[in-house]
Amino acid sequence: MHYVYILFSIATQKYYIGESAFPENRLAEHNTAKYAAASTRFTNDWVIVKLINCANRTNALKIERYIKSMKSRKFTEQLINDPVFFSNFKIIVKQRFDIEIGG
């Protein structure tokens, strides 16, 4: 199992989208600035606001890239907050990439 995760920082009011097999461990790395060049290093209050279940890393990477390609805060917030929007997103991902997702 692999996941696409969306983090949110209250301090910066920003979202971060990533992928990992172990999102809780990855969250700890973001909050401790393990990677000095990471865009999440400026704050340590990241929380997971959305997890999307994927069968494997290849699928997670495709979905992560797709979400990032939207370059839209509104899109990201709708994924998090709107169940109908997320259901439609799952349909689009199935049609476009032939990937079944959960979450």
DSSP state, 91? H
Cβ neighbors of 46 (< 8 A, separation 6 or more) are 7, 8, 9, 16, 27, 30, 31, 40
Name every residue whose Cβ is closer than 8 Å to that of residue 100 and which is 6 or more positions away in sequence. Answer: 55, 90, 94
What does pTM read for this prediction? 0.94
pLDDT over 90, % of the chain: 88
pLDDT recorded at residue 35: 79
* Residue 64 reports pLDDT greater than 90: yes
Average confidence (pLDDT) over 90-94? 97
The answer on pLDDT for 103 being more than 80 is: no
Share of the chain above pLDDT 70, in %: 99
Mean pLDDT (whole number) for 34-39? 82
Q: Which residues, at least 6 apart from 56, have a Cβ–Cβ distance to it below 8 Å? A: 2
